Chain A
Amino acid sequence: MKTIICMITIGLLLLLPAGICFSQQGGQPQAKGLDEQVQEIKSDVLAIAAELDQLEEKLLFPSHTQCALFISLAPAETFRLDAVDISLDERPVAAHIYSFKELEALQKGGVQRIFTGNISSGEHRLQVLFRGQGESGSQVERRQDFMVSKGIGPAFYELVLSQQGLTLKDR
């Protein structure tokens, strides 16, 4: 019977997640207390982060001048995006080189906010250049200019990239 109990313990140690193993090693009360405190401080810091985000937005990007640019990949797009450069009214405002994780996140449907800034109401020239690699290993480089019209409220633009080119959506 002792052997059986030993076997079960081994089996459970192998297959069960953290909590079970903890309780079998005698360090439970202290470890649990610490874990709970870590969870609490995470919660507190998240609350600070949320308030700081609001403060930052209010202070740096007031709604009447705010302009945000987002990057997404067209659905089922397989080309490897390497880098994006963006200029607004001939002034470079954003440049990004993509890591594997970032590219994967875009391919899964994530959207990257590549730029947040302030622009005045009226017409603005947006220039986008992106580089990457096609499935066959060929270099992909696309450049396109857009005219965007900023109203009195905040402006959100989504740049949808695909191997064929890019599309601008006023959101």
Chain B
Amino acid sequence: MDRIVIILIAVLFIAAPARAAATAAPEKLEDLYLGEVLYYAFQEDWFEAIARLDGELAQYHHLDEPQLDTLYPHIGLAEFAVGDFELAYRMHQRAGRAINAVINGNVSDPVRNEALYRLARIYFQKSQPVNAQQALDRIRGEVPQRLQADLAFLRAQVAMVNGRFDVAVELLNRLQNEKGLQGFAGYNLGIALLGTGNEQAAWQQLDQTGQLQSSERLALAMRDKTNLVLGEKLLAEGNRAVAKDVLDRVRLTGPFSDRALLSSGWADAGQEHFEAALIPWSILAKRDVTDSAVQEALLAVPYAYGKLGVYSRAALLYGHALEVFSTEIDRLSASISSIRNGYFLDALTRPELQQDADWLVRLRALPEAPETFYLVDLMASNDFQEGLRNYLDLHQLRLRLDSWTTDLAAFEQLIDTRRRYYEPLLPAIDARFRQLDSLMRVRLDQRLQIEKRLQSLLVAPRPELLMTAAERTNKDRLNQLTRQLKEAAQPLPAAMLERINRLQGVLDWTIQTDFDQRLTATYTRLETLNNDVAALQQQYAAFVRVRQAATQSYQGYQQTILSQRNRIVAARERVDKLLARQGHQLEEQAVKELQQRLARLEEFRIKARFAMADSYDRAALEQGQEGAGQ
């Protein structure tokens, strides 16, 4: 299990891991949909995050009054986050554009400088160090505190790549005590010093970094790496004793321990200390046999025994190495076949592996999958990692496109069902609605007339207009009686006329004196009517909306769906082509790596075979001599 852990550390350490986005949630979140975007981003589901944020921003930019939208207080964050997420999703071209937009926008110095830092990182990652330098040169004013060390480190890296080692030395000198860069700053300073030609200071710096005290895993791995590089350099120069001391600083459990043990043994062997060399080599020979240093140790151990004159032991160990190499050659051949048959790519895209931090370990356990321990170095390399991530992204895109094709079919079915339901119903509903609509318009007109009349009564009171129906009948009757009596042949009795006049007077009195009260009552009733009218209008509007929604629920989608389907089909074709190309590239890289290991093992096997025969001869000769002596 230790070996597995070491390999995983090595993968994490050497590969440039996907950088987590820096976007954080605002203190007070006003826009729930932005919160949803962040929910996906925090899970590193970049596709969902970008797709949703793109939608939100597009909607926002089409608003007439964006200041009324809930995204308004967060628009700066949202614009910045797009570039950030795109960068994390390895869409460097779009990320560059988005970040440039932020830089050229009306933003504060810290925001602009952070954007410039990110832009510089993009250029640096894409092998454009001159552009990276130009972006860094544009940084002016306040830089966020949390970025200052990273920015200085990036400046140093860019300076080194651009050959400005003196600038890098100055920057890295200032970063020596930076906690997050422990080991990295020291190692890079050593390399930068080498670049300036100051070899002595460089070796001193590397020696110092090789003795770094830290409890951080990455810093310790960096220390090991420094000691290995320094030790191997000293060994190559023939300074074996010092090389041995430096190499022995490498931890026995670190990711560089195998190579360090091997070189440590060679440092001893170079000084003819074969017994001492046997110590690191024997430790190494018991480790995982897929490691190239371990395979070399399988030959180195019997070599040391041979040098010590223990030929029989050497012969036996060469025999063991021969056996191991043959087994490994078979495994490698099987692994190459497995890759050629597509099992490698199948295994890489298994969903359960992508959820698992120990995916590399699980991968090798799958039936028919290649022996991935041989591919650790390759898998840890940046170009393979980039290719692998692209391959996995493309695979995810294909799954999405497939799922959308199914969705579109479901949408069409839904639209069809709606059409079949609504189309027979709507004509009758529309006819009835038209009737009610005209009735309603008449009533609303009447109400308007009444309101106007009441308004005019306020200016010129006309009590007769507020008579009740009974009063109106009575008044008509009295008028009729008066007319009849006047037209009668005989003169009227005075009492009757007086009576009619009195009744007329009573009626007029009531109408006149009750006018104010009647006017008020009429207004009150009109108010009640107004409420009813408002409710009616609301119902009317609701009906119109629902009616419109009914039609809209199945009309006008055909063209959109057709165009989406065409786009999906086209995208699917392109994804398939790219997937095949990317997959082929990964397979070729893996096969090439395995073939190199295979060739090396075959070479080792030949060496082991000859060395074994030689050792047997020497052992037999020795035995013969001993026998003769006795």
Contacts and interface: CB of A to CB of B under 8 A. Distances in A.
A156 B36 CA distance: 13
A38 B229 contact: no
A48 B188 contact: no
A109 B582 contact: no
Given A15-B188, A105-B38, 7 more contacts: A18-B386, A46-B50, A51-B564, A59-B414, A59-B553, A70-B36, A109-B42
Contact of B383 (A11, A31, A43): A31
B47 A49 contact: yes
Contact of A14 (B38, B41, B161, B225): B225
B35 A72 contact: yes
Interface in A20-72: 20-23, 25, 27-28, 30-31, 34-39, 41-56, 58-60, 62, 64, 68, 70, 72
Given A8-B191, A21-B381, A42-B91, A49 B51 contact: yes
Contacts of A58: 552
Interface in B87-132: 89-94, 124-128
B225 A41 contact: no
A34 B552 CA distance: 43
Interface in A116-160: 121, 152, 156, 158
B421 interface: no
Contact of B229 (A7, A25, A72): A7
A17 B553 contact: no
Given A18-B383, A21-B383, A105-B38, A48 B14 contact: no
Contact of B571 (A10, A14, A28, A45): A45
B404 A35 contact: no
Interface string B404-438: 10010001001100000000000000000000000
B51 to A, nearest CB: 4
B549 A62 contact: yes
A48 B563 CA distance: 10
B157 interface: yes
B35 A43 contact: no
Given A35-B386, A50-B58, A52-B564, A101 B161 contact: no
Interface of B: 14, 16, 24-26, 29, 32, 35-36, 38-44, 47, 50-52, 54-55, 58, 70, 89-94, 124-128, 157, 160-161, 184, 187-188, 190-191, 194-195, 199, 225, 229, 233, 236, 381-383, 385-387, 390, 393-394, 397, 400-401, 404, 407, 411, 414-415, 542, 545-546, 549, 552-553, 557, 560-561, 564, 567-568, 571, 574-575, 578, 581-582, 585
A12 interface: yes
Contacts of A49: 47, 51, 400
Given A45-B401, A46-B51, A34 B35 contact: no
B393 A42 contact: yes
Nearest to A19: B127
Nearest to A44: B571
Nearest to B415: A59
A59 B411 contact: yes
Nearest to B582: A34
26 contacts: A3-B233, A7-B194, A11-B188, A11-B191, A15-B157, A18-B386, A20-B127, A28-B127, A31-B383, A38-B582, A39-B94, A41-B571, A42-B89, A45-B571, A46-B54, A49-B47, A50-B55, A50-B58, A52-B404, A55-B560, A70-B32, A70-B36, A101-B44, A105-B38, A110-B42, A112-B39
A59 B552 CA distance: 8
A113 B27 CA distance: 19
Most buried by A among B29, B94, B386: B386
B91 A43 contact: yes
A40 B43 CA distance: 23
A112 B16 contact: no
Contacts of B90: 38-39
Nearest to B390: A38
A121 B44 CA distance: 37
Contact of A7 (B38, B233, B553): B233
A171 interface: yes
A88 interface: no
Nearest to A106: B39
Shortest beta-carbon contacts, A-B, top 8: A109-B25, A111-B35, A110-B39, A105-B42, A19-B127, A17-B16, A11-B191, A49-B51
B486 to A, nearest CB: 65
A96 interface: no
A104 interface: yes
A38 B386 CA distance: 11
Nearest to A8: B191
Given A3-B236, A34-B578, A105-B42, A46 B35 contact: no
Contacts of B233: 3, 7
Given A35-B386, A41-B571, A48-B568, A110 B38 contact: yes
A11 B38 contact: no
A43 B415 CA distance: 29
Contact of A110 (B25, B94, B387, B581): B25
B383 A25 contact: yes
A35 B387 CA distance: 8
Given A3-B236, A19-B125, A111-B35, A48 B55 contact: no
A152 to B, nearest CB: 7
A50 B394 contact: no
A35 B44 CA distance: 20
Given A34-B582, A38-B394, A152 B545 contact: yes
A97 to B, nearest CB: 15
A70 B29 CA distance: 13
Contacts of A52: 404, 407, 564
A20 B386 CA distance: 12
A51 B91 CA distance: 20
A108 B35 CA distance: 10
Contacts of A59: 411, 414-415, 553, 557
Q: Which of B381, B383, B394, B404 has the most CB of A within 10 A?
A: B383
B35 A22 contact: no
Contacts of A111: 29, 32, 35-36, 38-39
Chain B CB count within 10 A is highest, among A17, A44, A48, A60, for A17
